[in-house]
Chain A
Amino acid sequence: MTIAAKFEIEYLQYLDAEGKQVRNDLPEFAKDLDHMVELYKLMLSTRVFDAKSIALQRTGKLGTYASCLGHEAAHVGIGSAMKPEDVYAPSYREYGAQLYRGVQPREVYMYWGGDERGNDYQKEPARHDFAWSVPIATQCLHAAGSALAFKIRGEKRVAVCTIGDGGSSKGDFYGAINIAGAQNLPLVAVIVNNQWAISVPRKIQSGAPTLAQKGIAAGLFSMQVDGNDIIAVRKAMEDALDRARSGNGGSVLELVTYRLGDHTTADDARRYRGEQEVKDGWEKEPMKRLRNWLVAKRVWDDAKEEAWKAECDDWMDNEVNAYLETKTQPVSAMFDYIFAEVPADLAKQRDYVLSLESKGH
C-alpha cells in the first residue's frame, strides 16, 4: 500500500479541570506568576462584565446580547498572545480578547444597545481591529485579506480571526484558510468550539473527529487545544503567531470549550440541551482550574478575589453609567457614513428626515 499523506492532530493541555499540571514543560510566560495573576484578573473581569451585560439586558437597558460565559480562557488567551500591531477579526462574543486589546465595555454596551458608535473603538490597538462580525465566518476572509496586505507590504504582522464550531462549516472559513495555505499568509484562524451553534450540537456540524484537522486540508499547522486552559491557549497562540510572523505559515487552532450560557439573551438553551451536560460543563470551566493553580502557588486567595471583584464592579458601574449617559445620535448620522461624502441624491433624503425632525415628528 502506498500512503499519499498522513496526519495527526496534537491535543494541548497543561492544567486539568482541577488545576493540576498534567505536564512539566511550562512555557516561559507561565513561569511569571505575576503575569498569570494578571491573566486571571482579566478573565475574572470578563466574567463580571458578562454578568453585568446580561443584567442590563434583563432590565431593558440593552438589546440582544451574546454572552461569553465559559469562554474566558479562550478569549483572554487569544488577546494576550497577540501583539499590538497584529489585527483581530472577531465574531461577536470574544470580549475577553477585545478588552485586552482596548475595547471598552461601554463600546460593547453601545453596540448591543443599538448604537453604531460602539464599533468605533477609541483605543489602540483595538482601533485598528475589525468590529464584530455577525454574518458567520465572513470575518475569516477579512483576516486573510489583511494577512495578504501584510505580506505584500513586508510587514511583520499577523491577522487573527475567531469563529465558532458552527462557523467552521462555512465556506468563508475554508476560503480563508485555503488562500492562507496557498499564499503562505500570516493568518491564525481560531475555532472556539463551544459545542453549540445556537441549538445545533457540534456533531451535526461535521463528521470530522476534530475541527482542527480542517486546517490540514488547507496545508496549515493544525492543533486542538483545551480551550478552558489558558496556559494551553496562550502557548498555542504564541507559537502560531511566531510561526506566522516569521513567514512560516498560518495555523488553525481548535479551542475546545463549552458555552455555559444561552446563545444570546434571546435564546433559551433549556429547549435543546439537558441539565447534566451543563453541569458537566461547569465542572470543566476555565476559572476554577486557574484559581486552584494560583492558590496552590500562593499568589492568589479569597481576599484578593473579593477585592478584585469589587474593583471590577466599580469599573463596570462606571462603564454602564457612561453608556447610559450617551445621547442618541442625531438622525442625520444615518446618512453621514454611507459614503465618504453624502452624495447630492442622498442629501435630499437626509434633508427630508431633518425637516421631519424640525416639525417634531
Chain B
Amino acid sequence: MAQITLIEAVTQALAYEMAHDESVMVLGEDVGLNGGVFRATQGLQEKFGELRVLDTPLDETTIAGVTVGLAVQGMKPVAEAQFEGFIYPMMEQIACHAARMRNRTRGRLTVPAVFRAPWGGGIRAPEHHSEANEHLFTNIPGLRVVMPSSPARAYGLLLAAIRDPDPVMFFEPKRIYRQYKEEVPDDGEALPLDVCFVLRDGTDVTLVSWGAQVKEALEAADELAEQGISAEVIDVATLTPLDFDTIAESVQKTGRCVIVHEAPKTAGFGAEIAARLAEECIYDLLAPVERVTGFDTHIPLFRLEMKYMPSVERVVDAVKRTLAAS
C-alpha cells in the first residue's frame, strides 16, 4: 500500500467520494486543470469533468454563495478557499446562510457543503497566506469546524465532512501538508466528526491541541518523557461541536492541562476549553490551565513567523510550570 502525505490524503478522499457519489463536486479558484495551488484537486478535473471540478471566477463571495445554492439543490459541493486569509469575503454567506439555512427553514432546506481552506503559517508564504482563524467559525452555531493533523485523519474526516448533512469548515494545516507520509487505505472509511483523538496516553499532564500544533505537542511529549514526565496528547480535530468529555476524562486523570494552538490567544478556541475546564473540572486541577498559543498580533511576515508559533520549548516550559505549581 502506498504511503501518502496529508495533501495527497485530501485528494484521495475527494476522488473516492466523487467516484461513489455523483452529487459530490469541487469548486474554487485554480482547482481545475491546475489542481489547486497546493495540488489538492490534482487530476480530478480529468476524471470528473469541468463542471464537477469547476474553476470559478476569482471571487470568494461567489464561491461561497454558489456553494449554498448548489447544496440546497441537493448537490454536495466542496468549496475551496485558496488560503485561510482569503476566506473573509465568504463569511457572510457561511454565517448568514450556510450555517442557518436548516434552522431558519425548520429543516425544509439544508446545506450539506464543505468549505475547505489551507490553514495556518509556517511555510514562508506572503502576507495574508498564513492566517489561523478557526475561532471565528467555532462561535457560529450550525457549523462544524474540523481540522485534521495527519494523513489518515485528513482522509477519514474529509469523507465524514462531505457525507455530513450540515455545513463543515475543513481547515487543512498546510505546514504539514507534505511533512510525512503514512499508509492511508483508500477504503472509503470515514472517521467520526464528534470525538477527539487521544494520540498518546499519559498520566502527569494533558496536552490539548489541533492542526499543525499537534506535531509540537507530540514532540514535547517525547522530550518530557525523556525527563520522566508522562504527557497525554489529545488532537481535538473536531472543534465544534466539541467532544469535551474526552478532554475532561483526561484532565481528571492527569490534573494538569496545557492547550496549544496557533491562533491568537485572546478569545482563541483554547479560551473555550480553558473555561470549560474551569466550569466542569476545577476540582480535578492540580495547577492552573496553561495556554501556549500565537500572540495577539498579526502573524509576522516570514522572517519572524516562527517566533510567533508555539514551539516545543514553549510547550515544555508550560508543562514544567504546571508541574511546579503542585
CB-contacts of B78-114 with A (<8 A): 89, 92-93, 96-97, 102-110
- Are B62 and A179 within 8 A (Cβ)? yes
- Are B102 and A148 within 8 A (Cβ)? no
Q: Which residues of B contact A172 (CB under 8 A)?
A: 61, 65, 93
- Are B96 and A148 within 8 A (Cβ)? no
Task: Give chain B's interface residue range (CB within 8 Å of chain A).
Answer: 35 or more
Quick one: given A119-B106, A138-B92, are A343 and B73 in contact (CB under 8 Å)? Answer: no
From A127, A143, A343, B69 is in contact (CB under 8 Å) with: A143
- Are A120 and B62 within 8 A (Cβ)? no
> How far, in whole Å, are A147 and B51 apart by their CA atoms in the complex?
12
Asked if A149 is an interface residue, CB under 8 A from chain B, the answer is: yes
- Mark contacts of A108-145 with chain B using CB atoms, 8 A cut-off: 1 yes-contact digit, 0 otherwise: 00000000110111000001001101110010111111
Asked if B66 is an interface residue, CB under 8 A from chain A, the answer is: yes
Q: Which residues of B contact A343 (CB under 8 A)?
A: 194, 241
- Closest A-chain residue to B70, C-beta based? A145
Asked if A337 is an interface residue, CB under 8 A from chain B, the answer is: yes
- Are A339 and B166 within 8 A (Cβ)? yes
Asked if A146 is an interface residue, CB under 8 A from chain B, the answer is: yes
- Closest A-chain residue to B166, C-beta based? A339
CB-contacts of A189-242 with B (<8 A): none
How many residues belonging to A are interface residues under a CB distance threshold of 8 Å? 45
Q: Which residues of B contact A138 (CB under 8 A)?
A: 65, 92-93, 96-97
- Are B73 and A145 within 8 A (Cβ)? yes
Asked if A345 is an interface residue, CB under 8 A from chain B, the answer is: yes
- Are B244 and A345 within 8 A (Cβ)? yes
**A18 to B: closest C-beta gap in Å:** 41
- Are A175 and B105 within 8 A (Cβ)? no
- Mark contacts of B32-54 with chain A using CB atoms, 8 A cut-off: 1 yes-contact digit, 0 otherwise: 00000000000000000001101
- Mark contacts of B158-192 with chain A using CB atoms, 8 A cut-off: 1 yes-contact digit, 0 otherwise: 00000011100000000000000000000000000
- Closest A-chain residue to B49, C-beta based? A152
- Are B51 and A151 within 8 A (Cβ)? yes
- Are A141 and B61 within 8 A (Cβ)? yes
Quick one: given A130-B109, A145-B66, A152-B25, are A340 and B57 in contact (CB under 8 Å)? Answer: no
- Closest A-chain residue to B97, C-beta based? A138
Q: Which residues of A contact B73 (CB under 8 A)?
A: 87, 145-146, 149-150
**B90 to A: closest C-beta gap in Å:** 11
CB-contacts of A298-351 with B (<8 A): 333, 337-340, 343-346
Asked if B56 is an interface residue, CB under 8 A from chain A, the answer is: yes
- Are A142 and B72 within 8 A (Cβ)? yes
> How far, in whole Å, are A145 and B194 apart by their CA atoms in the complex?
29
- Are A175 and B70 within 8 A (Cβ)? no
- Are A176 and B106 within 8 A (Cβ)? no
- Are B69 and A148 within 8 A (Cβ)? yes
Asked if B300 is an interface residue, CB under 8 A from chain A, the answer is: no
**A186 to B: closest C-beta gap in Å:** 12
- Mark contacts of B102-139 with chain A using CB atoms, 8 A cut-off: 1 yes-contact digit, 0 otherwise: 11111111100000000000000000000000000000
> How far, in whole Å, are A87 and B109 apart by their CA atoms in the complex?
13
Asked if A9 is an interface residue, CB under 8 A from chain B, the answer is: no
Asked if A178 is an interface residue, CB under 8 A from chain B, the answer is: yes
- Closest A-chain residue to B52, C-beta based? A152
> How far, in whole Å, are A176 and B62 apart by their CA atoms in the complex?
7
- Contacts A145-B65, A145-B67, A183-B54 supplied; 4 other A-B pairs, CB < 8 Å: A89-B69, A143-B69, A147-B69, A150-B73
